[in-house]
Structure 1
Amino acid sequence: MRKKRPLTLYILIAMLLGIAVGYACHTVFPDKALSAEISSHISLVTDIFLRLIKMIIALLVFSTLTVGIAGLSDGKAAGRIGAKAFSWFLLASLVSLALGMLLSNLLQLGTNLGLPLPPVDASTGLKTAAFTLKDFITHVVPKSPVEAMANNEILQVLVFSIFFGAALGALGESGKRLAGVVDELAQVMLRMTGTIMNFAPLAVFAAMASVVTANGLGILLTFARFMGGFYLGLVCLWLLLIGAGFLVLGPRVLRLVGLIREPFLLAFSTASSEAAFPKLLVALDKFGVQRRISSFVLPMGYSFNLDGSMMYCTFAVLFIAQAYGIDLSLGTQVTMLLLLMLTSKGMAGVPRASLVVIAATLTQFHIPEAGLLLLLGIDQFLDMGRSATNAVGNAVATAVVAKWEGALDTPAPAAAPAAKNESATTRAA
């Protein structure tokens, strides 16, 4: 039987082909308006793929999280798991923000840019006034679960699923039939996920081709210093996350890294954390994380544990301040870090969320919001790294909580090859 090639290989090939086709289109059609129009048509494939993912994501989160909570022994168990998850999320958030602040101060990426700065009164078009802590807290609680699912408000779906799952679990035996139906719904959603993921290489090809067609590779050279510094920070963060996972999981964390290659590449190439969610769930299953943990912690992580996005917030704010020659004291930067700790928790479900949070922070500290215009052209390339890092952070967090809860199954001993050889020897004798 011929071995099936992994989806990861096709995604890598699609990325390279997309870059080549995009570069060719940008070279043949140098006119910006025309290349932008061609780019918009190419991106149609990616848009359809992401819409397919969004089509299933709300029901997938609802069904898996509901079954996970209903399967917990009692409310105390759910509270305990939630407390452990949030403890990890807060620590990871603090590390991400602090690492971004440290590297930004060391590298000074915004100084001596050699680029014309946007006028301080230029508008970014981002609605920052609506992004307040009060609005975020009230927005968390859904007015209607149907509306939350229709609008793909994952944080609201999360809240409803927690209440629904807890109530379903409290029914005991009488609730098992409905729990079984919801579990079957989860299986259907996962089967649909498998079908949709077959189109991932096409979506990756279109995403890369579209971005390079519109911007060319020249923009990467212009902002090479900033992008290099940011991706250096992401690599440091990956190492820290994997190192922290090693302290809890031991050498098994390397197997986890291998299992999440596919969702990592998918998140990176499509610049969408949502696209990686179904594949992350499957990868955690293979790693041995019991579904009652992964279906509970992973959706929460997608709302509260966006490590890559948070690191980008400190990088971007300090980059813009340095570009405009604004010196921020250590105390001011620590205050900014604490503010980002709060506002970044509202990123889930907000379009271009990182940019909105950054714009709100710039206004708070009297830094020209127009500085964001410097980064808008390369935001897609930066978003690729942010999304992939979010996937890594959530995978490690879920596996760690599973280990703490004793819900991480040990891998089966690799005795099968030995047994097979022994059998062959016996037949030969």
Structure 2
Amino acid sequence: MAIGTVIFLVLWIILTGAIVKVNPMHIVKGLSRMTVMALTTTSSAITLPVKMEDQEDKLGVSRRISQLVGPLGMAMNSNGLSLFLAIAAITLAQFYGLEFTLTNAIQTVTLSTLATLDTVAVPGGGLVALTIVIPALGLPPESIALLTGIDWFSGMFRTVQNVDADATIAMILAYGEGELNHERIKELNA
């Protein structure tokens, strides 16, 4: 999960930097405080005020875009949990020696996406989503217990992925609307 999160964020930050014409290292610097908050609290809701403040002050996002994307992203963006559910399903299928077919992969992606809606703001919401996805894929429901011990740790990475992706999406939207303050970003990274 940690490796998947790092790979996703590195590629996503590079892509964001290319789209908004900002050095990716400046984006990483702007994300640092919210990343630490997300990692330590495992809650997108608790991180929201810090994320919105840093989007505006460190990443150059206009207040208008920040106020729209911040809360909406917190409630709707579940890419970290979706990645976790897919990894968990594949791991459990391997654990039980079950074949994981292309059909299973498509079902996993679909169910993971649908099951994550509105669970990101709640620490431990991943376990609730697992109770939806695992039985629906034909895996034993008791296998969820195997993952409860690591839920807090995987939640750290899920939250970081969700929060950082929200902030970069805000940058992309602000850039598209002509409301990304490049001078602010340069000023803070000088």
Give the TM-score normalised by structure 1: 0.41
Aligned match of 1:277: 48
1:322 paired with 2:83, answer: no
Report how far residue 335 of structure 1 moved. Answer: 2.3
Q: For residues 336 and 257 of structure 1, what CA distance do their matches in structure 2 show?
A: 31
Post-superposition Cα deviations, 1:221-263, rounded to whole Å, max 9, x if no partner, equal xxxxxxxxx2111111111211220221123443222022111
State which of 379, 383, 387 in structure 1 corresponds to 2:155: 383
State which of 339, 349, 357 in structure 1 corresponds to 2:129: 357
Partner SS for 2:182: coil
Say if 1:284 and 1:351 are closer, same or farther in 2 by CA, change over 3 A: closer
Q: Which amino acid in the other structure matches residue 171 of structure 2?
A: A
> 1:267, 1:274 within 8 Å by CA — same for their partners in 2?
no
Report how far residue 367 of structure 1 moved. Answer: 0.4
Aligned match of 2:139: 367
1:338 paired with 2:102, answer: no
> 1:306, 1:393 within 8 Å by CA — same for their partners in 2?
no
> 1:284, 1:294 within 8 Å by CA — same for their partners in 2?
yes
Say if 1:349 and 1:386 are closer, same or farther in 2 by CA, change over 3 A: closer
Residue identity (%): 26
> 1:245, 1:253 within 8 Å by CA — same for their partners in 2?
yes
Q: For residues 331 and 243 of structure 1, what CA distance do their matches in structure 2 show?
A: 32
Q: For residues 162 and 96 of structure 2, what CA distance do their matches in structure 1 show?
A: 30
State which of 231, 239, 243 in structure 1 corresponds to 2:14: 243
> 2:34, 2:51 within 8 Å by CA — same for their partners in 1?
yes
Post-superposition Cα deviations, 1:366-422, rounded to whole Å, max 9, x if no partner, equal 1011111111112111111111111111111111111111111231676xx9xxxxx
Aligned match of 2:25: 254
Q: For residues 236 and 395 of structure 1, what CA distance do their matches in structure 2 show?
A: 17
Q: State the Cα RMSD in Å.
A: 1.9
Aligned match of 1:298: 70
> 1:289, 1:402 within 8 Å by CA — same for their partners in 2?
yes
Q: For residues 339 and 312 of structure 1, what CA distance do their matches in structure 2 show?
A: 12
Give the TM-score normalised by structure 2: 0.89
Q: For residues 373 and 292 of structure 1, what CA distance do their matches in structure 2 show?
A: 43
Report how far residue 332 of structure 1 moved. Answer: 2.0
Q: For residues 34 and 9 of structure 2, what CA distance do their matches in structure 1 show?
A: 15
> 2:44, 2:120 within 8 Å by CA — same for their partners in 1?
no
> 2:124, 2:155 within 8 Å by CA — same for their partners in 1?
no
Q: Which amino acid in the other structure matches residue 257 of structure 1?
A: V
Say if 1:271 and 1:362 are closer, same or farther in 2 by CA, change over 3 A: same
Q: For residues 334 and 307 of structure 1, what CA distance do their matches in structure 2 show?
A: 16
> 2:108, 2:133 within 8 Å by CA — same for their partners in 1?
yes
Partner SS for 1:411: helix
Say if 1:350 and 1:284 are closer, same or farther in 2 by CA, change over 3 A: closer
Aligned match of 1:307: 79
Q: For residues 22 and 28 of structure 2, what CA distance do their matches in structure 1 show?
A: 11
Say if 1:243 and 1:346 are closer, same or farther in 2 by CA, change over 3 A: same
> 1:290, 1:407 within 8 Å by CA — same for their partners in 2?
yes
Q: For residues 265 and 350 of structure 1, what CA distance do their matches in structure 2 show?
A: 18
Gaps of at least 5 residues in structure 2 are none
Q: For residues 167 and 121 of structure 2, what CA distance do their matches in structure 1 show?
A: 19
> 1:309, 1:354 within 8 Å by CA — same for their partners in 2?
yes
Q: Which amino acid in the other structure matches residue 356 of structure 1?
A: V
Say if 1:302 and 1:376 are closer, same or farther in 2 by CA, change over 3 A: same
Length, aligned pairs only: 186
> 2:70, 2:167 within 8 Å by CA — same for their partners in 1?
yes
Report how far residue 315 of structure 1 moved. Answer: 0.8
Question: Which has the larger Rg?
Answer: 1
Q: Which amino acid in the other structure matches residue 303 of structure 1?
A: A
> 2:107, 2:137 within 8 Å by CA — same for their partners in 1?
no
Q: For residues 325 and 234 of structure 1, what CA distance do their matches in structure 2 show?
A: 26
Q: Which amino acid in the other structure matches residue 74 of structure 2?
A: Y
> 1:321, 1:367 within 8 Å by CA — same for their partners in 2?
yes
